[in-house]
Amino acid sequence: MTSVTCKCGEICLEIENDPMMHFMCHCKDCHSLFNGPAKVFIYTDNDICITGAHSTYSYEGGSGNDLHVTFCSNCGTRAYTRPDLIEGLTYVFASMLEGHIEFQPKVELFTYNRSKWEHKPASVVESYDHNGTLERIQELLENLEQRD
């Protein structure tokens, strides 16, 4: 089990399994919220126990469905996002798990918006100009079956 906290220690994430997927999102919302691409690990909600005071900011993502970004009410650390599009998943930001899991994204999304100074990581095997949901669902379903 991996246990991590935000900068001030208020939010704690306890994670049981390896992530189902690593991805980068270059959409305009992520660039605005994170000052660059979001670097994300995908887990099921059942993989994670979350404690501590937090706030949530919700917005409509590129799919037309809402995303709910959770951050520490005290220090502002962005901890995770939960998407309405695929219920039961939690996107944990790679910065929360730095030093615990090496970020090796295989997928990058909304590449049309990648900043000119950002380079495609060598680990990326799939790039999409959109949210890539349909393409990612099969891989996520296969990973879910392996967890049962």
Q: What integer pLDDT is reported at residue 101 of this predicted model? A: 86
Three-class DSSP category at 44:
strand
Quick: pLDDT tens for 95-141: 889 888 888 898 898 899 898 898 898 998 888 887 766 666 666 66
Confidence of residue 147 (pLDDT cuts 50, 70, 90): low
The answer to whether residues 68 and 81 touch, using CB atoms and an 8 Å cutoff, is yes
pTM score of the predicted model: 0.84
Q: What is the mean pLDDT of residues 4-27?
A: 91
- The CATH number of whichever domain residue 83 belongs to comes to 3.90.1590.10
How many independent structural domains does the chain possess?
1
Quick: pLDDT tens for 45-86: 999 999 999 999 999 987 788 999 999 999 999 999 999 988
Domain region containing 49: 2-147
The alpha-carbon radius of gyration of the chain (Å, integer) is 15
Question: What are 125's two structure tokens?
Answer: 């095997």
The answer to whether residues 24 and 91 touch, using CB atoms and an 8 Å cutoff, is no
Q: What integer pLDDT is reported at residue 66 of this predicted model? A: 93
